[in-house]
Amino acid sequence: MKTRQTSRQALAVLVGAFAIISGITPISSMQPVGSVFAPAPAIAQTLVEGKGKVIAVTQEKQELVLEHGEIKGFMDAMTMGYKVSSTSLLKGLKPGDQVQFTIDKNKSVITKITKLKN
Ligand SMILES: [Cu+2]
């Protein structure tokens, strides 16, 4: 008896939750992706993209020296060393390669590198 009551209550909760979820879905699908969950755009804003040429690759130090062009809103054109978020990002890179890269401004770390055709 007690068990049956409990499972009935549980079912009612499930049905209620489903109704709430399906009721919200049409509203949230009208919003731009990410606006419902605020943290996503805030994280995206710390990422900036740049283009440059690989000067040196230092696997041991997890570092890449780049001669890069101006990165709007972040820094002017210069040659400098950057840490990378993972050594796997350095794989296949060699001096002279043209690359496009994404930097996390807060950590000053390269999180993504794409090799461009020379
Ligand atoms: Cu720089």
- 60 CA distance to ligand 1 centroid (A)? 21
> In the prediction, which pLDDT does 24 show?
47
Angle 48-51-52 from CA coordinates, rounded to 5°: 130
What pLDDT is attached to residue 77?
Answer: 97
What is the Å distance from ligand 1's center to 86 Cα?
A: 19
**Is 23 in contact with 71 (CB distance < 8 Å)?**
no
Higher pLDDT, residue 4 or 72: 72
Q: How far is the CA of 78 from the centre of ligand 1 (A)?
A: 5
The residue behind tokens 């049956």 is 4
Give the global pTM.
0.61
> How close is the Cα of 43 to the center of ligand 1, in Å?
21
CA 24 / ligand 1 centre spacing (Å): 45
- CA 17–ligand 1 middle distance (angstroms): 50
How many angstroms does the Cα of residue 69 sit away from the middle of ligand 1?
8
Q: Residue 57 carries which side chain, given as an amino acid letter? A: V
Q: Model confidence over 41-98: pLDDT tens digits?
A: 555 468 999 999 999 999 999 999 999 999 988 899 999 999 999 999 999 999 999 9
